[in-house]
Amino acid sequence: MQNMLDIRPLSGAIGAEIAGIDLGGPLDDMIVAAIRRAWLDHLVIFFRDQDLPPDRLMAVARRFGKPVEYPFVAGIDGFPEVTPVVKLEHERVNFGGIWHTDTAYLETPPMGTFLIAREVPEAGGDTLFANMYLAYESLSDGMKRLLDPLVGVNSSGKADASKTREDRMKDEPGAGARRDYVAEHPVVRTHPETGRKALYVNLGHTQRFKGMTEEESAPLLGFLFTHQTRPEFTCRFRWTPGALALWDNRCAQHNPINDYHGRRRVMHRVTLEGDRPR
């Protein structure tokens, strides 16, 4: 079925561009199934030059899952599930600018995320992605035995990751979020569609292991945070206006690079409902 698509891998580990498709036009079930298969195979897929205003973006997202609201930032007018991801010229801290998987502090983190570029700087503002299947599979057998039974405690209040969220919560009281979310998830999760195991801790949200203190957890977590973003597990995507990414939140991490101070970057994001990690 994938021979219906023009798929161009970005690296040996993760990521592929799919060319020649207008997502705003009619998409029959076979094309949607082929795109989904490519997404499962490559973990993050990209499309260029897409004309997707919010209504069309939502229509595309609904072909792949159920859009849900983001807990900390209010959606744009008329589209509560479309989250603005913005850094303006005077701002120094970007949104989510740290390696992470989206909202791991929720009981049911999202399955996947759509992100489309509206305005981007001429240079800078790329996003890195990392393959958590490879991060787990490349570990020693002894480390896998140690990690397999562990549970991670994930919090939205982890300081380094929450600075921009906290600032935005103050600026946007209508978002209606609690001050802090905490959820416990397996350190190694099994993907519900592929059956593969993926490392499921992240620098942005994972505070400690269940049953251990933060101090006791820190050495092993520090190793994992460094290990899971090794260059050979990653790809890098350069945004252009109308570029769209769809990543699998269950087995991939991402990191938006904050290297464009004094320039504007405006994106729209839609997250898709997931299930409880197992």
- Beta-strand relationship, 16-19 and 44-47: parallel
Domains of the chain listed by start with CATH number: 2-272 (3.60.130.10)
For residue 125, the SS3 value is coil
Q: What is the pLDDT of residues 157-215, one digit of tens each?
A: 874 444 543 344 444 444 455 568 999 999 999 999 999 999 999 999 999 999 999 99
CA 18 to chain centre: 19
pLDDT at 238: 98
Q: Hey, what are 201's tokens?
A: 């801790």
At 166 the pLDDT is 37
Strand partners, 131: 252
What pLDDT is stored for residue 71 in this prediction?
Answer: 85
**pLDDT score for 106:** 95
Catalytic residues: 100, 102, 254, 269
- Which pTM does this prediction carry? 0.93
Q: What is the pLDDT of residues 31-72, one digit of tens each?
A: 999 999 999 999 999 999 999 999 999 999 999 999 999 888
Dihedral (CA of 196, 251, 228, 185) sign: negative
Residue with the bigger pLDDT between 130 and 169: it is 130
Place of tokens 């913005």: 86
Can you give the pLDDT at residue 11?
Answer: 98
Inform me whether the pLDDT recorded for 153 exceeds 90.
Answer: yes
3-state secondary structure of 46: strand
